[in-house]
């Protein structure tokens, strides 16, 4: 059991029959009335994000999430196949469960699979990945007042905003949390 006073960003809890990860929290002590904790939670089963308010000192169960390092192999009829790098066991995850992560995953990439017991909750990508630009319009100099930016399509199909100097076939470092350009590789 854990109290709301022990909340930390990234902690996983069981609440309302589901498993939630704490994305953000704030302890509030109003001048009148009891203290409370305002939190932003992500449902690890559905991906939904909700704002919840808890009374100060309220207790709940922590959820013990196990992570396994696996390698993404290929797509097989809507399911995506991953292989455990130690035991060589293969695991299939439905595409709709990892829709957002697929934008930045390419074959043979090492990822972390989050599991609760035997239930697969999702995929945790590395913070930064290197991907190749497959399509972008040429940058035209002189028509900007600031830095200037344009859209680029990556090898996985994701579209990110990049600076004007980025060209087709460039390797880019992408932040997977925000889906944003970091630098050239």
pTM above 0.95, yes or no: no
Class for the domain spanning 128-139+147-184? mainly beta
Contact 31, 78 (CB under 8 A): no
pLDDT band with cut points at 50, 70 and 90 for residue 44: confident
Phi, psi of 99 (to 5 degrees): -55, -50
Q: What is the dotted CATH code of the domain comprising 65-124? A: 2.40.50.140
Domains 2-62 and 128-139+147-184 share a fold: no
Q: What is the dotted CATH code of the domain comprising 2-62? A: 2.30.30.30
pLDDT 10s digits, 48-59: 889 999 998 889
Cα–Cα distance for residue pair 167/155, rounded to 1 Å: 13
Cα–Cα distance for residue pair 77/62, rounded to 1 Å: 35
Q: Where are the domains of the chain?
A: 2-62, 65-124, 128-139+147-184
DSSP string, 10-59: T-EEEETTEEEEEEEEEEE--SSS--EEEEEEEETTT--EEEEEEETT-E
Cα–Cα distance for residue pair 141/161, rounded to 1 Å: 17
pLDDT 10s digits, 113-141: 988 888 888 888 899 999 999 998 887 76
């Amino acid at each position: 059991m854990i109290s709301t006073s022990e909340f930390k960003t990234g902690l996983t809890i069981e609440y309302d029959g589901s498993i939630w990860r704490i994305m953000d929290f704030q302890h509030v002590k109003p001048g009148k009335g009891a203290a409370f904790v305002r939190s932003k939670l992500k449902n690890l089963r559905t991906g939904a994000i909700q704002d919840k308010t808890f009374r100060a000192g309220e207790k709940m169960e922590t959820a013990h999430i196990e992570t396994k390092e696996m390698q993404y192999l290929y797509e097989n009829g809507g399911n995506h196949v991953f292989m455990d790098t130690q035991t060589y066991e293969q695991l299939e995850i439905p595409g709709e469960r990892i829709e957002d992560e697929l934008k930045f995953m390419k074959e043979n990439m090492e990822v972390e699979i989050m599991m609760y017991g035997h239930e697969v909750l999702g995929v945790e990508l590395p913070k930064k990945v290197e991907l190749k630009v497959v399509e972008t319009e040429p940058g035209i100099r002189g028509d900007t007042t600031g830095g200037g930016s344009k859209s680029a399509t990556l090898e996985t199909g994701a579209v990110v905003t990049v600076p004007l100097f980025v060209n087709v076939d460039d390797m880019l470092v992408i932040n997977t949390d925000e889906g944003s350009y970091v630098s050239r590789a």
